Structure 1
């Protein structure tokens, strides 16, 4: 199983990017205030079996009264295996807005169709932010009473609907 490694941009690249402001930007322009990170206690995390083979649909609902941010890449860990599912497309962590009372959706492919090896685990843990403990779902509750088959798992980024998450999985995994 692969482990996601965060890349750090060299300072020169960051400075170069900062010096190339978009046309029309002025010194008085100020960035929008950052959204607070969603509190784990204010999120409802869900996972359910999908009608697609070797996939699980996941979602996070913000039960708070204000918008907040989760990480744009869901954290999905399988049993005691090392490392989370890899994001598709590749990318770095960053905030993703969840409106008050709103939900965001992703799809996890647990088993690469070309896999010649696999592991079987009894649970899957999903979190909206890597700093959260997340919620654990046993294999039986995800329609896999004999265990979740795992090899080279991937997850889409969060999307506004399950259909958009399905389309993203199709686009990036073929």
Structure 2
């Protein structure tokens, strides 16, 4: 049996291991900077509008603050009194999305699965930049659907820098 010698832990690694849990450690790998703090709802403008595409709504959020902040990378879109928000495509966990001061993010929401054999009509939808926010409610008529918004298995894209990018993302996940 041979005994294998293990080299001593390099000093930099030892210091990193001894650093307090919240301390930042420099890395030569160039990790991304930490996300800015969460956006306060009062500093956000939320908008929704009808799209030229059937059963699709375009939404946006704008940071009216003077500093960058973060919203959730997946918008929260709820339809009337129906259970649960639109599902993200691609599927995703919560994570921050950086909004610069004065910056906007855009998403596309498909309200009705093209293969749906059922549907519900709702009189409103609510959009929020973060699940912790109340969001803003938009009536069906203001979204070009005076009879009601047609809903069945709705999906939403993540936030994007432009409406064109949001539309393209939705196209990639069309059924």
Q: TM-score, normalised by structure 2?
A: 0.82
In structure 2, the residue matched to 1:89 is: 90
In structure 1, the residue matched to 2:47 is: 46
In structure 1, the residue matched to 2:150 is: 149
> Unaligned stretches of 5+ in structure 1?
1-26
What is the 5 A alignment of 1:44-123?
44-123=45-124
Distance of 1:56 and 1:167 partners within structure 2: 14
Q: How many residue pairs end up in the alignment? A: 148
Pick from 22, 26, 29: which aligns with 1:28?
26
Measure how far apart 1:172 and its partner are. Answer: 1.4
Q: Which runs of 4+ in 1 moved over 4 A?
A: none
Give the secondary structure class of the aligned counterpart of 2:173: helix
In structure 1, the residue matched to 2:12 is: none
In structure 2, the residue matched to 1:4 is: none
Alpha-carbon contact 2:80-2:126 (below 8 Å) kept? yes
Distance of 1:34 and 1:172 partners within structure 2: 27
Bigger Rg, structure 1 or 2: 2
Measure how far apart 1:33 and its partner are. Answer: 3.5
Distance of 2:166 and 2:67 partners within structure 1: 24
Report the CA distance shift for 1:31/1:106 in structure 2 as closer, same or farther (over 3 A).
Answer: closer
Distance of 2:156 and 2:87 partners within structure 1: 6
Alpha-carbon contact 2:35-2:98 (below 8 Å) kept? no
Distance of 1:28 and 1:50 partners within structure 2: 46
Q: TM-score, normalised by structure 1?
A: 0.83
Give the secondary structure class of the aligned counterpart of 1:173: coil
Measure how far apart 1:31 and its partner are. Answer: 6.2
